[in-house]
Amino acid sequence: MKKSSSTKFKKDFWQKRKVLITGGCGYLGRELVKNLISLGSFITVIDKTKKENCPIANQFPEVDLISEELNQINVVFDILKSKNIQTVIHLAAQSGVPGSQANPVAAFQANVQTTWSLLEACRLYGKVSEIVHVSSNHIYGDQKEKPTLEEAPLNSFGVYGASKACSDLIARCYAKSYGLPIGIARVTNTFGGEDPHLTHIITYTINKVLKGEPPIIKSHGLNSKGFLFLEDTIEAIKLLTEKINELNLKGEAFNFAPDEPIKIIDLVNKITKLTGETYLKPVILGKLTDPVEEEWLSNKKAKKILGWHPKYSLEEGLKITIDYFLRKG
């Protein structure tokens, strides 16, 4: 189901644009590569994943895939210069809260060191016209004010959230200190078809119920989060990229999130309803006495300044995602 959008994009912005995407072998990276290729961009990807293990190597042979770490400034500088890069979208990171918590050194290397290396290389190169640093909803941690604005303190003390908060701050530092044209996209929980993260609550629940098995909720199900359909996340990143210079947004951060969060129990029940498997009641493992967490990011700044808004409701996004897994079998 394709929807039209009232968001105003520059029709020719991406045509023949030389774009570097870091972490392009990841879920969001692959979908962004696909989208920008359709618009006529020339794509270079830096990803530590070996070519034979990266899906875009075979799917998009026109992409220049460079299997490298981002922690060497001179290597990144040489790539920027040799490819005459105009636009950089920084997605590379160690995703996943449990993995980061288990290996903090690797998490800080992947999320922090790579960011300063990339941005220092961009500073030395001096010809990048716009940079988008993709940050995370996890940087906020516990907040008293809901919905949470971009000016809120970064209260995350988990390794993943703290490492992403560090990289977020580094990006804003390079923008304000050196005038680099950097915009920060703070994205929330992205979902959609082709998501390889089968332990994430949406993909996990869909696959579970399609097998005729009751979904399992590890918590009490009362925690609430925002979930954004994949295409809305991609369109947000593209729009911010286009607007950095036009609106002088150097160092500005934007929350890209749905209008409201949803309780996990309600999300799971919505999925069972949409699949027609309402007889599959979720198994709840958590205790009702456990603390209730509510994550609710304000998207008002993105709406007001960028003119961005989610095109897809949660239910519409879930239907498309369910259809994908049904077709996949």
Residue pair 41/61 in contact (Cβ under 8 Å)? The answer is no
Name the maximum alpha-carbon separation found in the chain.
Answer: 60
Cβ partners under 8 Å of residue 209, min gap 6:
215, 271, 272, 275, 277, 280
Residue pair 283/217 in contact (Cβ under 8 Å)? The answer is yes
Residue pair 1/23 in contact (Cβ under 8 Å)? The answer is no
Of the candidates 160, 174, 279, 312, the residue annotated as catalytic is 160
Crossing angle (nearest 10°) for helices 114-125 and 73-82: 50
Amino acid at 82: S
d(CA 66, CA 303): 36
The answer to whether 160 is a known catalytic residue is yes
Q: Quick one: tokens of 89?
A: 């979208």
Residue pair 221/286 in contact (Cβ under 8 Å)? The answer is yes
Quick one: DSSP state of residue 119? H
Question: Which residues are designated catalytic?
Answer: 160
